[in-house]
Amino acid sequence: MEISIDSVAQMHQLGAKIGTKLRSGDVVVLTGELGSGKTTLTQGIATAFGVKSITSPTFVISRIHKGEPNFIHIDAYRLIGNNLNAFADLDFESYLKNSVFIIEWGSDFVSTLTEQFLEIVIKQGESEDSRVVTLIPTGDRWAGLEL
């Protein structure tokens, strides 16, 4: 599924819509260049869970927002180039059952958590503020996803 986005507000709205589809155990992987809108999309997703303050966890790798379910935002950028154990050692798997995960730069690591995930690829559009967002469902959990 491919979606055209023309503004930061639209990216936020898309995130909010995606957030309504998520439940405990779900993993969303965000892929895109620096500044593409991954954190903005995450902010929108977080609104569905009542999480208001989202900043990129680049330097701390992850932020856990407690709730029902927990909302876990991971930025795996600093782990790129490491083996899978670097991610697995962070023990996110123990949170999987009661949490929703949003993993920026996570395509190399998602297999340590689950075989079923939603990958969202964000690419620059034709104008400075526009983006092309592609949703790539993997596994039965995401079959037939509609927004």
Q: Which residues contact 51 (CB under 8 A, 6 or more apart)?
A: 65, 67, 71
Which pLDDT score is estimated for 60?
60
CB atoms within 10 A of CB 33: 10
The fourth-level CATH superfamily of domain 2-124 is: P-loop containing nucleotide triphosphate hydrolases (3.40.50.300)
Which pLDDT score is estimated for 118?
96
**Distance in angstroms (rounded) separating the CA atoms of residues 104 and 74:** 6
Which pLDDT score is estimated for 4?
97
- Residue 52, classified by CB atoms within 10 Å of its CB into exposed (0-12), middle (13-18) or buried (19+), is exposed
Which pLDDT score is estimated for 78?
66
Which pLDDT score is estimated for 80?
60
Which pLDDT score is estimated for 85?
61
Which pLDDT score is estimated for 59?
59
SS3 for 72?
Answer: strand
The full DSSP string for 74-114 is: EE-GGGTTS-HHHHHTT-GGGGGGGEEEEEET-TTTGGGT-
Amino acid at position 119, single letter: E
CB atoms within 10 A of CB 54: 20
Sheet holding 2-5, edge to edge: 2-5, 131-138, 117-124, 27-32, 99-104, 70-75, 62-65
pTM of the shown model: 0.87
* Series of mean pLDDT values for 10-residue runs along the chain (147 residues): 95 96 95 91 94 71 83 78 60 78 85 89 92 96 88
For the chain, the domains span 2-124
Which pLDDT score is estimated for 57?
59
